[in-house]
Each structure stands twice: as structure tokens, then as C-alpha cells.
Amino acid sequence: MMRRTTLLTGCTALALALGATACGGGPVTPAGGGDKALAGQTVTVAGVWTGSEQKNFQKVLDAFSAKTGAKTQFVSTGDNVSTVVGSKIEGGNAPDVVMVPQVGVLQQFAQKGWLQPLSTTARQTIGADFASVWKNYGSVDGTLYGLYFKAAHKSTVWYSPDALAQAGVEPPKTYDEMLKAGHTVSDSGLAAFAVAGQDGWTLTDWFENIYLSQAGPEKYDALAAHKLKWTDASVVKALTTLGKLFKDKQLIAGGQKEALNTDFPGSVEKVFGPEPKAGMVYEGDFVAGVAHDQFGRTIGQDADFFAFPAVDGGSAPVVSGGDAAVVLKDGKNAKAGMKLLEYLATPEAAAVWAKAGGFLSPNKKLDLASYGDDVTRATAKSLVAAGDSVRFDMSDQAPAAFGGTKGAGEWKLLQDFLGDPSDPKATADRLEAAAAKAYQG
Amino acid sequence: MTATTLAKEAGSAPVASAGRARRTRRRGRIIAVLFVLPALLLLGALVVYPVVFSVGRSFFDASGTRFVGGDNYTEMFRDPATLKAIRNTTIWVVVAPALLTGLGLILAVLVEKVRWATAFKLLLFMPMAVSFLAAGIIFRLAYDEDPDKGVLNAAVVSVHDAFAGTSSYPTARAREGQGLIHGADGSYRTGTGVSPGDSVTLGLVGVLPKDLPAGAGPAYAAAGRSAAPDEVRGVVYLDFTPGGGGRQGEVDRRESGLPEMKVEAVRDGRTVASTTTASDGSFRFPGLASGAYTVELPESNFAPPYQGVSWLGRTLVTPAIIGAYLWIWTGFAMVLIGAGLSTLPRDALEAARMDGANEWQIFRRITVPLLAPVLTVVFVTLVINVMKVFDLVYIIAPGPVQEDATVLATQMWLVSFGGGNNQGLGSALGVLLLLLVIPAMVFNVRRFRRSQR
């Protein structure tokens, strides 16, 4: 049985590897300029990026080539990084550098012994230029493997400045102020919030922001690692706080039932679409992208954000995500790969993508003037200013069965909670039951 | 075929010894086995081995290394999602094949009688050419609850609104604690007794300036007028100054009146006068007898717009998906039954007609009984098909109701690959599905054998 399983895995790996090489080969960048220390070597980089993200990252790689003379090749892995990279390693065709999109994946790679610890230079840069929280999220068992090159800011509440001006309210500073402002917006005839209840992940983000601010970073970490049970009083309290918003018909566009029928793009449309139905929508910095690309809003003018407000006297939460660069042991040019990583750690590299847009860097040394527009600059500033209080998206740290599956686990239970927020205690019990099952498996 | 021929030849030689006959028979058997071998190998590798493997896998835990005995099976029946899946699969099996066979039969009989039969058949058969994925996406859109997106609700809402009409201020409401009492039926009324000679201001909020009827004007001037001794007058106004800054509960200069609002004067629970507000939101009830009145804004002003049917809500999601399934498979049932219909002995039908039977009697007493074998084949095939329905359920059901729509096949996939990553439990579900399909299979195979004989 064991041998057959291996055979099967081998076949799948082969198929995947073939598929990946067939469709994922990016253009090989020619060398030019710089000191040419790495001339003649090709660094292969794998990552989830496609489309404009891939294009912009290529600009960073081009800058690296210009500097060092090394050729670079970007391979897009699609959503499932760990499967593709795993099969490439088995097939003896490992990329040199991988951009991993989740903390869990980085840990998984490190535990399998695929990763090379970062060089002294890279370690020093990260130690000096990054908040130590990024170092921690890049380390496994005390060894630093990953450099967070690109980050996401998930504590931004986006609003239509027109709607708030019409209602005569200012961006709030606390959660209670936000609910009060919401009521005023609702008095003006527009619902306060568009909630994307059909996409469970937006609800987990709501919860994580409230929990991080209300219960504090220590408890947040404990809950993320499931060292703290979901039945803890702090969870019930956060759910009650969230329920205050969820159960208020005046605060949610169309009430709970309509919220459960709204997906994420739909919720952005409710605020920034041609027929606004709500004044505010909470989600990460990528809301700006949707508002701009799909609904033609000028960011900073027709769409702006305020930081997710502090809850119950806590400090304002900064929930984040990001892509970390790691170097694989099995890469053919792992040494050149490490050089690329050292380059990515510099503000110079971050500035290249920052100029192109759609990018936040956790690097403290990056000049904020590098960002293309004021709103991105403000998000970046808030992210860097948060320093060590930044926390990674909790559901991304959890096993997929709990934190990342449509119609199951945390997604489903928070959707049920949105439908009926009357009993936070029971929801906490159910969350614990689901978490216990997923973390043990 | 070869084996039988050989056996016959051997038997036809009268002088052959018993030993030779046996040898020939053995040779024949070896040849037969050789001929069957490729098929057996394929069957073994593609069907028997996976089945046996799944059964074996179902006794191991998620990692596949620890033997857990029947734990997966007990876990399976403890999980409410599985029980829902079993319930839904039962609904599917009971409803869908019967409906499809019935529809197919009716359509086949009717289509036979129209002139453009082939065109009709082609049209009805066309959904079969659409992949389940595409059909799922189409129906997900069609069933969308927002009347601006879902075509079904757009139809339902426009029909409803054509008969029931809409209210002018569906979003309007009063702030709490500012004098207006919210009735259980959705109306608003003044709390204190109002007597002739009084004027009242009824402040509402929640109306966008752009949603005000054309011609709505400021209510300030009207609010200042005093009432004659035998009348009650007042304004209904929007208690919200655009841009903020207005005082709550008072008519500020820039605040607009709410025109076309129905207002009633109620005394002792009886409506004694009723009027509609003017463009500045003012109203008056002249010639009232003295006494205490209540001024009421009836519910019809505020009735929320009709939202249509919640097709993909908890209760309707399974019927809705079955509807999509019918759309795809009706053509199949119709064509198969139609083929059976064309082979019916015409003389039986003619004879019945000569004897004076009407069309309904012919259908009931002759067509259906003669078609019974075809109907059974269609029905059983559909039962097997329905058991493994997956794509439609997975695509059409939105996240929040996925669990309410789940069937065994989707549950099996979700548990094994879609996040659960427990292939042991998934295999147990697969085995359950297999056990449920086997009776239908056996039935079909036996029928097939009987008809060959």
C-alpha cells in the first residue's frame, strides 16, 4: 500500500510539474548594467502572482538583473504553492526562490527541511529595517528563513467621502464612534455598512480586527495557535461586540439576509458602484483596487479609508498578510537566490514596485514618497507605524478546514452568526468544536 | 463465440474419445479466458481495485497510517452535515427521477403530435450539450436574490409590483424616543392626544435626498403656521439636514417636507379623517369635532419593496437546484421515451381508437403500459445519475447555505479534499454512496439480462 501511494504521488507530481513548466515559464531577462558579479547565472523565482502583480514583480527582478548581471525567471504557481513547489523539488527542478503567501506554508516548508536559513547580510538587514514581528513570522524554531517583501493591510475601513459628508460625520476613532457615525449615515438615508456575508473570509477579518484590539496581541497569538480555546470569555466578548453591528438593521445594507447574499465585489459595489446603497465597507487595502478597476473611482477622492478603529480602549488593530521570500536548499543557483533575497530586503527593491502601485512594503527604510498615491502612502504609513503590534490574519494561520473553506469551519459559523447574532456564547462553543477537530487533524 | 463453435465441433465427432473431448474443452476454456482477460484487467484496475482500496482506506484515519476500525463510520453518522446530505440525497432520488420521467413522457407524447417535432426535440435536448459547470453558473445568476441581477426574481418582483404597487417611502423611519410610536404593523403615530387647534411636526429620517419625490420643498414655513380652532394641522418632514448640523426633533430651515405621505386622524381606534401631504410636507384636517385624536402615518407609506423569492435560501435551495437539473435532463428523458414511443405497435393504438377510446384513455391504458420497460430504464438510469449529482450543487449553492444543500457526493468531496483533507472519512462516505447505488445497479443489470433472453 505504501509503495503504491508513493507511485501515485509521483505521478501527480510529474503531471503537476509538467503542467507548471508548460504554462508558467516567464520570460528570461537579459542582463545589463551594474557590477555583473552574478553574470551567467539564472535565478528562478516561483510565486502565486499573475497578471499585473507578476508584471510589477518582474520590474523588481529586472532591476536586480541590471544590478548584478544575473538572469531571472519568474514561474507562476497558481494558488497552490506548496503542491507545485513540492513536486518541483521531487522532480529535481526546484526554483531558487519562492514567494510564499502564508505563514502556515512557510512553516510547512521549514519543517520539511526545504529551506535555507537566511544569510548574515539578509538577517542583519531584516533585524535593522523591519519590525521584529516580521522577523518572527519569517522564523521557524528560532531560525530566520523568510523575508516579508510584500504586505497587505487588512485593517482599513473604506468609505465614500460623499456619503460621509452628506451625513456630516467625520471618520471615527473608536468602535463605538463608528457605530454612532453609522447610525447618522443611516439617518441620512444610506445604510452604514455593506457586509459581504456570502464570502466567509470577510467575516473572519471583521472578527480578527475586533479581537486583536479588544483582547490584545498576546491573546490573539494564543488563539491563532489554538493554545487558547474559542470558548474563552474574550472570544465571546468580541463576538458580542461584533454582534452589536450585525444585529442592527440600520447599520447593515439590506439587513442580515441581504448581507448573506452579498459577495465581496458586491459589497464594494454597494459603496462605490453606480447606485450606492451604503456608506462604508470594511476590508483590506485591496478594496481600493476593486473600487478603481471595476467602478472607476479615483482613490483618495471618491474613495478613502480610515484605520479600523480601536475597540473598548484597546489600541487600533493592524491585521496584515504578506508574501515572504524564501530560498530553497535544492535550487541550482541557491547562492544567487540568496543574493536576490538580500536585494529584496533593501528599500531600493521595494521602491521599484511601490512606484508601480498595488504594493505595500513592511520595510521601515522605504521612503514613503516612493508610493504612487496618497492613499497607498497612508496605508503603508499605518502599517509601518504599527511596528510590532501588526498581526497576521488569524484564519490564514489556521488549518484550511477551519479558517479557509467555503461552507465550513469559521467561515460558515460566522455566517450563521451574521444570520442570527443573538447567542455569541453558542457560536463560540461551535467555533471551538470545529477548531478542535481541524487543529487535531 | 469461438468457444461454443469449438465445443460443437468436438461433440459432432462420434468416434472421439472422452479424453480428447475434455482436452478440447479445456483448450476452449483457455482461449475464452484469454479473450476475456483484457476486459477483466481493465475492469479490475479501473473499477474493482479502486472500490477495494476505498473500502480499505475507509478504515484508516486522515493520515492513512493508523487503523481506526469503524470509527469513520460512526463519525460519519454523528456529523450533522452527513445527515443533511443523506436527507437531501433522498429528496433528490425521490423527486428528480420521477419528475423527469413524467415530464419526459408528457413531452414525448405531445411532441409526437406537433408539426415541428424535430425542431422541438432539438430545442429541448439542447441543454444536454451545456456542461454542468456552465449550467450551474447560469442558474446561480438566474436565481440571484437581487432583482437587478437574478432574472427569476426580476420577473417575480415586476409581476408582484404590477398588482400590489409600491410605497413611496420604503426606507423612512422615525428616530427612537422622539415622540413617534412605531406600531406593530409598521405604521407611526403620535403618542399624546392631539386636539383640534394643535399643530404637530412628524420628523422622519432615512430618506436619501435624491429619493424625495420631485417638487419636495422645505418644511420650515409650513411648520410655523398655526392651526384654526377646529382643525389639526402639521408637517411631515425629513428630520435630517444634509451635511449634518440640524437639531434632532425640530424643523430646521433646510429640512425638506415629505410630500405624498398618507396621514390619518384616528379617534378611539377609528380613522375619522385622512389626507395626503402637500409638496412642503404639510397637511390639515379641517372641521374636526373637539376631542383627543392620534395622528397616524399608516403602514402603506413605508411598506418595504417586495424582495421576491429567496430561491437560494435555506428552504428553497434544494428544489431550486433540482429545477436546474430538470432543465438539463428533460431533453434526455424525452428523447429516450420518444424513441420507445416510435416503436409502439400502431395497430394497438388504431384498434383502441376504432373502439372509441379518447386520447386520455389511450395514453393511460395503452401507451403507458406498453412503454413501461422504457420508462423503467429511464427512471433507473436517472436514479443512478441523481445519486452522484455534484457539480450543480457545488456551484449553485452559495457558501452560507452550502451545508443545507449538500448531497452525499459533494460531502464526500468536501470531506476528502475541500478543506477537510480527511480521505478516510471521505472513503467511508464513498462506500455509503456505493451501497446506495448498488440496488439500482443490480436492478438494471437484471432487467438487461432478462430482456436479452
B2 lies in some domain: no
**Chain A nearest CA to B117, separation (Å):** 42
Residues B144 and B186 in one domain: no
> Within an 8 Å CB–CB cutoff, is residue B400 touching chain A?
yes
pLDDT band at residue B299 using 50, 70 and 90 as cut-offs: confident
B245 to A168: CB separation less than 8 angstroms, yes or no: yes
Give me the residues paired with residue B235 across strands.
Answer: B201, B282
Amino acid at B410: T
pLDDT band at residue B177 using 50, 70 and 90 as cut-offs: confident
At B95-139, the pLDDT tens digits run 999 999 999 999 998 888 888 888 888 888 899 889 999 999 999
> Within an 8 Å CB–CB cutoff, is residue A5 touching chain B?
yes
B232's torsion region: left (phi>0), alpha (psi -120 to 50) or beta? beta
List every span in chain A annotated with CATH 3.40.190.10: 2-152+321-388, 156-319+392-440
* Distance separating alpha carbons of residues A251 and A181, to the nearest angstrom: 10
Pair B167, B303: CB distance under 8 Å = yes
User: Cα-flanking dihedrals φ and ψ of residue B289, to 5°?
Assistant: -70, 155
Which residues from chain A sit within 8 angstroms of residue B422, using beta carbons? Answer: 441
Residues B277 and B403 in one domain: no
> Within an 8 Å CB–CB cutoff, is residue B240 touching chain A?
yes
* Distance separating alpha carbons of residues A417 and A433, to the nearest angstrom: 15
Half-sphere exposure of B362 (CA within 13 A, CB side): 18
Residues B321 and B383 in one domain: yes
Q: Where are the alpha helices (DSSP H) in A188-249?
A: 200-215, 217-224, 233-246
What does the DSSP 8-state code read for residue B426?
Answer: H
% of chain A residues with pLDDT over 90: 59
CB proximity under 8 Å: A 234-273 to B: 250, 257-258, 260-261
Among the candidates B301, B333, B363, a domain finishes at B301
> Within an 8 Å CB–CB cutoff, is residue B3 touching chain A?
no
Which residues from chain B sit within 8 angstroms of residue A1, using beta carbons? Answer: 56
Q: What is the domain class of A156-319+392-440 according to CATH?
A: alpha beta
Instruction: Check residue A126 and give its pLDDT.
Output: 92
Domain count of chain B? 3
Residues B321 and B286 in one domain: no
B240 to A187: CB separation less than 8 angstroms, yes or no: yes
At B316-325, the pLDDT tens digits run 999 999 999 9
CA geometry: angle B155, B156, B161, nearest 5 deg? 100
Amino acid at A372: G
B145 to A408: CB separation less than 8 angstroms, yes or no: no
Q: Taking all residues of chain B, what is their mean pLDDT, rounded to a whole number?
A: 86
**Chain B nearest CA to A437, separation (Å):** 10
A189 to B240: CB separation less than 8 angstroms, yes or no: yes
The cell numbers describing B67, all together, are: 487503523
Instruction: Check residue A214 and give its pLDDT.
Output: 94
Which residues from chain A sit within 8 angstroms of residue B241, using beta carbons? Answer: 168
Residues B258 and B316 in one domain: no
What does the DSSP 8-state code read for residue B242?
Answer: T
Residues B140 and B109 in one domain: yes
**Chain A nearest CA to B278, separation (Å):** 21
Which residues from chain A sit within 8 angstroms of residue B209, using beta carbons? Answer: 166, 189
pLDDT band at residue A18 using 50, 70 and 90 as cut-offs: very low
B403 to A198: CB separation less than 8 angstroms, yes or no: no
B11 lies in some domain: no
pLDDT band at residue A4 using 50, 70 and 90 as cut-offs: very low
Residue in chain A nearest B212 by alpha carbon: A189
Residue in chain A nearest B424 by alpha carbon: A441
Instruction: Check residue B419 and give its pLDDT.
Output: 63
Residue A349 has pLDDT above 50, yes or no: yes
Instruction: Check residue B16 and give its pLDDT.
Output: 57
User: Cα-flanking dihedrals φ and ψ of residue B284, to 5°?
Assistant: -145, 145
Which of B68, B79, B146, B311 best probes binding to A when mutated, by most A CB atoms within 10 angstroms?
B146
B64 lies in some domain: no
Residues B184 and B282 in one domain: yes
The ipTM assigned to this model is 0.76
pLDDT band at residue B14 using 50, 70 and 90 as cut-offs: low
**DSSP per-residue codes, B297-360:** E-GGGTPPPP----TTSTTTHHHHHHHHHHHHHHHHHHHHHHHHHHTS-HHHHHHHHHTT--HH
Pair B183, B295: CB distance under 8 Å = no
The cell numbers describing B6, all together, are: 469449438
B175 to A415: CB separation less than 8 angstroms, yes or no: no
Instruction: Check residue A397 and give its pLDDT.
Output: 86
B169 lies in some domain: no
> Within an 8 Å CB–CB cutoff, is residue A436 touching chain B?
no
> Within an 8 Å CB–CB cutoff, is residue B315 touching chain A?
no
**Chain B nearest CA to A392, separation (Å):** 20
B110 lies in some domain: yes
Residue B408 has pLDDT above 90, yes or no: yes
pLDDT band at residue A108 using 50, 70 and 90 as cut-offs: confident
Residues B258 and B187 in one domain: yes
Residue B356 has pLDDT above 70, yes or no: yes
Question: Alpha carbon of B4 to those of B29, B33, B40: distances in Å?
Answer: 10, 13, 20
Residues B421 and B316 in one domain: yes
> Within an 8 Å CB–CB cutoff, is residue B243 touching chain A?
yes
B403 to A261: CB separation less than 8 angstroms, yes or no: no
B159 lies in some domain: no
> Within an 8 Å CB–CB cutoff, is residue A168 touching chain B?
yes
Instruction: Check residue B268 and give its pLDDT.
Output: 83
Among the candidates B33, B48, B63, a domain finishes at B48
pLDDT band at residue A10 using 50, 70 and 90 as cut-offs: very low
Residues B36 and B124 in one domain: no
Instruction: Determine which of A214-228, A229-243, B154-168 has the lowest per-residue pLDDT on average.
Output: B154-168
For residue B281, what are the domain limits? 180-301
A168 to B243: CB separation less than 8 angstroms, yes or no: yes
B166 lies in some domain: no
Give the closest residue to A321 by CA, choosing from A416, A243, A386, A395. Answer: A395
Q: Higher pLDDT residue, B267 or A12?
A: B267
Instruction: Check residue B447 and give its pLDDT.
Output: 84
A189's torsion region: left (phi>0), alpha (psi -120 to 50) or beta? left
At B191-240, the pLDDT tens digits run 767 888 888 888 888 888 888 888 888 888 888 888 888 888 889 999 88
* Distance separating alpha carbons of residues A239 and B316, to the nearest angstrom: 29
* CATH number of the structural domain spanning residue B232: 2.60.40
Which residues from chain A sit within 8 angstroms of residue B84, using beta carbons? Answer: none
pLDDT band at residue A182 using 50, 70 and 90 as cut-offs: very high
Residues B228 and B355 in one domain: no
Calculate mean pLDDT across residues B395-404. 88
* CATH number of the structural domain spanning residue B130: 1.10.3720.10
Instruction: Check residue A14 and give its pLDDT.
Output: 40
Instruction: Determine which of A3-12, A182-191, B166-175 has the lowest per-residue pLDDT on average.
Output: A3-12
Residue in chain B nearest A184 by alpha carbon: B244
B437 lies in some domain: yes
Pair B174, B301: CB distance under 8 Å = no
Residues B191 and B138 in one domain: no
- CATH no., domain A2-152+321-388: 3.40.190.10
Residue A9 has pLDDT above 80, yes or no: no
Residue A30 has pLDDT above 50, yes or no: no
Pair A213, A315: CB distance under 8 Å = yes
**DSSP per-residue codes, A326-380:** EEBTT-TTHHHHHHHHHHHTSHHHHHHHHHHSS-B---TTS-GGGSSSHHHHHHH
A408 to B171: CB separation less than 8 angstroms, yes or no: no
Nearest beta carbon to residue B399 from set A1, A198, A258: A198
Give me the residues paired with residue B189 across strands.
Answer: B181, B296
* Distance separating alpha carbons of residues B197 and B227, to the nearest angstrom: 5
pLDDT band at residue A22 using 50, 70 and 90 as cut-offs: very low
